[in-house]
Amino acid sequence: MEFRIERSALTDAVSWAARVLPVRSPVPVLGGLLLDTEARGEGGGGAGGGPLRISGLDYEASARIDVDAEVVRPGKVLVMGRRLLDICKVLPEGPVECSVEGSRFTVSGDGARFGLSVLPLDDYPALPPLPQVRGAVDAGLFAAAVGDVAVAAGRDDTLPALTGIRVGLDGDTMTLAATDRYRFAVRTLPWKATTPGETADVIVSARRLTEIARSLGRSGLVRVALDAGSAGFEHSGMRTTVRLLEGRLPRHEKLFAMADPAVAVVDRVRLTEAVKRVSVVADGDSPVQMAFARSDASVTLRAGYEDDVASQRLPATLEGAEELTVAFNPGYLADALASFTEPSLRLLLMGAGQRAMITDQAGTDVHRHLLMSVKPQLA
């Protein structure tokens, strides 16, 4: 096996495939990346100009990427992925020559030369196939939507379903949702189904889906593939699969139905800055209080206890009540606000200790974030 490739292209490809490698594994070959210049079909080629295919996997996910390379002698080799990535990062810029010499994989460029022991190919499991392709979604919209809801996913691995993002497909609409029981984020976006009336309802690890969405790029279409046990995503020579989580998330439709709430509208940037500012004196998860007043069209934020207190007053409109005071976990509130990009936000408020909904100013159902307010405890 022998090929030539630009250092930057090799580094990017190795970095992308190495994302799925386990940090520690009782099976040594699972720490390896498979470099293959014999691939055919699906972007494969032959000697003298065919692509290099790099792939890796663990028990939950797999990744495969095709990158252009000048293939001198086709072949396959399995090497420790993270060690190869470390080498790629310190190689000089410019062309790199890679080859297998006996039981060693060599990487050289501009006078620098590295050698890596090869791992046994016979012990390396085959990559899982891509599930059935259900349709495609805009890469930029998908990445943004995943980021919007991932902040609400749980971190407690004893409740696996709550650490995931629900991916729901219904006709020409994709719905992403996540909750940790204290907050619930939902985002809808258009997508192109392969067949009319396509439906699905699965849960994908929020951590994995966030990594995937960020890594696939922000232009073009991402092909989405699903079966009973796994999800797959493919874009511009990159293909990845991830095992689905078992269980289901609570349905949000009834929870999001709020009868006769008070409605406040406030500038997103100013509110975000004010939450960060007053939270400086909030110990642990002590709440940030928001006191809305219709008479002077304002909201006053307060945080802290006894001598360590902070406050800030902002313009805000309020309808449906003359005055209303709610309080939120400052971290949860900051996460929710950061997931929006609109100039102004609309807050649907039921009162202290009850549900509160954040949407864009128009009140559309495209992006909604539900928070449970707590009872104000300021002295």
Q: What confidence tens digit (pLDDT) does each residue in 269-314 have?
A: 999 999 999 999 988 778 999 999 999 999 999 998 878 899 999 9
CATH number for the region 133-243 comes to 3.10.150.10
User: How confident is the model over 41-60, as a mean pLDDT?
Assistant: 69
* Average pLDDT rounded to a whole number, residues 357-369: 92
The model's pTM: 0.91
Rounded to 5°, the CA angle 147-58-79 comes to 115
Band (212; pLDDT cuts 50, 70, 90): very high
Quick one: pLDDT at residue 377?
63
DSSP type of residue 279: G
Weakest-pLDDT range from 23-27, 84-88, 346-350: 23-27
List, in sequence order, the alpha helices (H) in the chain. 7-18, 81-90, 139-150, 206-215, 253-256, 268-278, 330-338
Domains 2-123 and 258-372 share a fold: yes
Banded model confidence at residue 50, pLDDT cuts 50, 70, 90:
low
pLDDT in tens, 6-38: 999 999 999 999 999 998 878 889 999 999 998
| Mean per-residue pLDDT, 160-165 | 96
The residues spanned by each domain of the chain are: 2-123, 133-243, 258-372
Task: Give CATH superfamily name and number for 2-123.
Answer: DNA Polymerase III, subunit A, domain 2 (3.10.150.10)
Closest of 77, 69, 65 to residue 97, by C-alpha: 69
Question: What confidence tier does 40 reach under pLDDT thresholds 50, 70, 90?
Answer: low
**Secondary element (H or E) of residue 106:** strand 104-109
**Please, what CATH class does the domain formed by 258-372 belong to?**
alpha beta
Distance, CA of 301 to CA of 288 (rounded, Å) = 7
